[in-house]
């Protein structure tokens, strides 16, 4: 009898432990399967390096023993930036490869194409690689989450800075007439709040327009002394050059989409770009201020060991490393409860955790009704050679 | 003849059983194969039978897809009713495009259609049309469920729906091409002046070929929109047009069954290439392409025909 009691107690003690191990398809005692689509070919193949750096990150992680003893299998397919192909590949990953969840699928149209499907199937569409604001909609799409600061958060940060430093500014806005431009514009309006009347002129352009010269002239004529430049790289370069050439010298805010020194400021003219304000949230490995940074040194070591063919000047590789370390943290938090629901719950309960490759002070915080992990940015000013960060971390909560 | 019918019957039967033995994902892929087969048959009518090269059929495919998506999304039209509408719109567009294209021969026509193909994604982004097309964001459409309480899931139902449309389209195509019209089209391809001398109205037939070809491709586009549940300009880049051309050449020019072989090729070979090498899938695809062209110079359909003829002549 005593024996039986002992056994019963032992069982009672052991059973909850066993019961805590919960798995959905794609997870087991030894493995976690993660699916991904990336444009390794086609018009957006420059982004393909993100998928490759993420794969390299998991290779490193597996060599170090994996996550809670489980190896990560990262299955990534090429979708060529074509939405129908993304749908096909997502279905393959979910239905045939049986992944636990999808991670970092890249592109706004590609993610739109699988948005409903993923939510219908109740398979997490984690940390999508696009800046659109619509991914933060936990009520209607509880299985989808973004990662990077979305366009609206970024625009709100500029608005806050203008309100603080130039409360009587007359603002002129140039924006691309599509969802991306309007997303920024909405965030900017929201950020100005009751002071929306500070905007004296808003002009738009089409992607098909040859130049934005006439728009810049209109903005100058409006008497604006602050310029918010919501343009993609080619038009950003034109706007910077034209404004300088006609002698219009507003305080110039340039969206993060176009703050590449190589492909925007250099063609526009570095001397014409002095003083432009933009924003960043991730450490740029080419920035001399991070030359002795511990996290960047670790990243360089990772790059040369696991992704030697990758370009260390490419900020996308820092991006891939950072976002992969975020999902690794989510999975660590999941422990032995690797259900899709728990992955979503853990991703939605991060409180101030940060990968060290983000700028100092920027953290990841989420909650059940906040699916926008990074909402902070830091402003930076161009000094003629490189971007210089200034001020405190802005935006977010 | 009897034997052919028997083979056809077995094939259709197999096609009906297939979705019950493979996964939903495979069923979805097979649906896409059928969709491509219709599009390829359309292009084959123009290029294979009539000898007019088109590098821009992706544009008609996009037009059909957008017709279906806009009708479903904005007008609430049931999905099945969008097919005739998409077909009609593409027939008119194809016929009208065919009229000026009459003056262009061979490579010049290829260039003109290429222009249409590359222009299409940008036209779809045009902001005046945005309230219908959804601009760069495209249109998301719901997936149809099986009607009349049929015990099929959405993927299986869509497969059977597509299969039925495919059979009808192939039957109509076969009927069109085996008779007077088919002979007129091939006569124009082989010797335009001789055809004219025989009393064939070259201008009319060539424009009609363009229209009918666009109709087929448009219906396929509409079906693809329903199957994928999403249309966006990025879905219809110039690559779609090139892939269609690859499909009809690999499948077999001027052959009805070739459309099906070509569809299987363009659906599955890129995936196989991706499985073999993720580093250079298109290089592998190229190897497959060269291999097929080298081993089967008249397309898969031609090779099959040859094989059957050999077996029949053997004692």
Q: Does B24 touch chain A (CB under 8 A)?
A: yes
Domains of chain B, by residue range, sit at: 26-126+151-238
* Segment B56-61 mean pLDDT: 92
Residues in A 57-76 with any Cβ partner in B closer than 8 A: 76
Percent of the residues in chain B that have a pLDDT greater than 70, as a whole number: 98
pLDDT tens digits along A217-243: 999 999 999 999 998 878 899 999 999
**From start to end of chain A, where are the E strands?**
22-23, 31-38, 71-78, 101-103, 125-126, 171-176, 199-205, 226-230, 251-254, 277-280, 337-338, 351-353, 364-365, 376-382, 387-395
ipTM of the complex: 0.75
Chain A partners within 8 Å of B29 (Cβ): 88
**Per-residue model confidence (pLDDT) at position A6:** 52
Q: Does A92 touch chain B (CB under 8 A)?
A: yes
Mutate to test the interface with A, among B39, B129, B220, B228 (most CBs of A within 10 A): B228
**Per-residue model confidence (pLDDT) at position B107:** 86
Three-state secondary structure call for residue A276: coil
DSSP at B144 = P
Nearest-Cα residue of chain A relative to residue B29? A88
Chain A partners within 8 Å of B239 (Cβ): 42, 80, 82
> Residue A84: which of B136, B142, B235 has the nearest Cβ?
B235
Give the list of residues 6+ apart from residue A66 with CB closer than 8 angstroms, or none. Answer: A72
The answer, as to whether pTM is greater than 0.95, is: no
In angstroms, how far is the first alpha carbon of chain B from the final one?
Answer: 20
Burial letters B105-115, b for 16+ CB under 10 A, else e: eeeebbebbbe
Interchain CB distance below 8 Å, A82 and B234: yes
Q: Is A15 exposed, middle or buried (0-12, 13-18, 19+ CB in 10 A)?
A: exposed
Residues in A 166-205 with any Cβ partner in B closer than 8 A: 177-180
- Alpha helices per DSSP H over B44-101: 57-75, 82-101
Q: Does B122 touch chain A (CB under 8 A)?
A: yes
Domain with CATH 3.40.50.2300 in chain A: 23-149+291-366, 151-280+379-395
Confidence of residue B105 (pLDDT cuts 50, 70, 90): confident
Calpha distance A158→B33 (Å, rounded)? 50
Architecture of the domain whose range is A151-280+379-395: 3-Layer(aba) Sandwich (3.40)
pLDDT score of B3 more than 60: yes
Phi, psi for residue A371 in degrees, rounded to 5 = -105, 30
Calpha distance B57→B79 (Å, rounded)? 23
- Low-confidence stretches of chain A (pLDDT < 70) are 1-19, 43, 208, 396-397
Domain A23-149+291-366 superfamily per CATH: Response regulator (3.40.50.2300)
> Residue A179: which of B126, B136, B235 has the nearest Cβ?
B136
């Amino acid at each position: 009898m005593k024996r039986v009691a002992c056994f019963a107690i032992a069982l009672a003690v052991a059973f909850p432990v066993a019961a805590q191990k919960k798995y959905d398809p794609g997870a087991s005692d030894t493995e976690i399967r993660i699916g991904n689509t990336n444009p390794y070919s086609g018009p957006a193949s420059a982004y393909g390096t993100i998928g490759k750096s993420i794969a390299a990150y998991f290779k490193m992680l597996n060599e170090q023993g994996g996550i809670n003893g489980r190896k990560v299998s990262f299955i990534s397919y090429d979708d060529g930036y074509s939405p129908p192909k993304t749908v096909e590949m997502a279905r393959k990953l979910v239905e045939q490869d049986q992944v636990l969840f999808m991670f970092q699928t890249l592109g706004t149209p590609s993610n739109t194409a699988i948005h409903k499907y993923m939510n219908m199937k109740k398979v997490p569409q984690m940390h999508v690689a696009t800046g659109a604001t619509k991914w933060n909609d936990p009520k209607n799409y509880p299985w989808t989450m973004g990662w990077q600061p979305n366009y609206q958060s970024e625009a709100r940060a500029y608005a806050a800075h203008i309100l603080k430093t130039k409360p009587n500014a007359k603002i002129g806005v140039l924006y691309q007439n599509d969802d991306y431009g309007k997303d920024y514009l909405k965030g900017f309006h929201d950020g100005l709040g009751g002071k929306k009347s500070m905007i004296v002129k808003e002009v738009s352009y089409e992607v098909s327009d040859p130049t934005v010269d006439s728009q810049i002239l209109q903005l100058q004529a409006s008497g604006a002394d602050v310029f918010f430049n919501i343009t993609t790289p080619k038009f950003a370069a034109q706007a910077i050059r034209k404004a300088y050439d006609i002698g219009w010298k507003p305080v110039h805010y340039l969206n993060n989409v176009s703050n590449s020194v190589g492909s925007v400021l250099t063609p526009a003219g570095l001397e014409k770009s002095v003083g432009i304000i933009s924003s960043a949230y991730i450490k740029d490995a080419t920035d001399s201020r991070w030359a002795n940074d511990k996290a960047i040194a670790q990243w360089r070591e990772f790059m040369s060991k696991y992704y030697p063919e990758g370009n260390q000047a490419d900020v996308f590789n820092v991006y891939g490393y950072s976002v992969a370390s975020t999902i690794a943290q989510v999975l660590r938090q999941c422990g032995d409860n690797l259900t899709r629901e728990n992955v979503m719950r853990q991703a939605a309960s991060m409180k101030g955790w940060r990968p060290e490759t983000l700028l100092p002070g920027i953290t990841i915080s989420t909650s059940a009704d906040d699916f926008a992990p990074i909402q902070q940015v830091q402003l930076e000013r161009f000094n003629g050679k490189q971007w210089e960060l200034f001020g405190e971390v802005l935006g977010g909560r | 003849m009897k034997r052919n019918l028997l083979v056809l019957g077995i094939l259709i039967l197999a096609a009906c059983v297939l979705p019950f033995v493979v996964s939903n994902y495979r069923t979805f892929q097979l649906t896409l194969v059928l969709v491509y087969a219709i599009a390829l048959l359309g292009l084959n009518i123009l290029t294979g039978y009539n000898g007019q090269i088109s590098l821009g059929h992706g544009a008609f495919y996009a037009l059909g897809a957008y017709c279906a998506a806009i009708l479903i999304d904005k007008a609430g039209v049931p999905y099945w009713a969008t097919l005739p509408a998409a077909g009609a719109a593409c027939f008119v567009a194809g016929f009208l495009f065919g009229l000026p294209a009459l003056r262009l021969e061979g490579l010049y026509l290829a260039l003109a259609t290429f222009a249409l193909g590359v222009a299409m994604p940008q036209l779809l982004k045009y902001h005046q049309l945005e309230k219908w097309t959804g601009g760069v964001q495209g249109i998301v459409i719901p997936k149809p469920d099986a009607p009349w309480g049929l015990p099929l899931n959405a993927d299986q139902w869509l497969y059977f729906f597509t299969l039925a449309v495919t059979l009808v389209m192939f039957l109509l195509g076969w009927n069109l091409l085996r008779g007077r019209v088919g002979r007129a089209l091939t006569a124009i391809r082989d010797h335009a002046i001789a055809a004219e001398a025989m009393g064939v109205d070259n201008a009319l037939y060539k424009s009609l070929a363009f229209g009918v070809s666009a109709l087929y491709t448009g219906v396929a586009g509409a079906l693809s929109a329903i199957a994928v549940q999403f249309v966006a300009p990025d879905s219809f880049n110039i690559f779609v047009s090139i892939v269609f051309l690859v499909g009809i050449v690999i499948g077999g020019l001027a052959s009805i069954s070739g459309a099906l072989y070509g569809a299987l090729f363009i659906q599955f070979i890129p995936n196989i290439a991706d499985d073999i090498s993720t580093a250079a899938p298109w290089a592998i695809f190229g190897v497959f392409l060269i291999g097929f062209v080298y081993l089967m110079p008249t397309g898969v359909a031609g090779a099959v025909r040859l094989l059957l003829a050999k077996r029949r002549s053997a004692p």
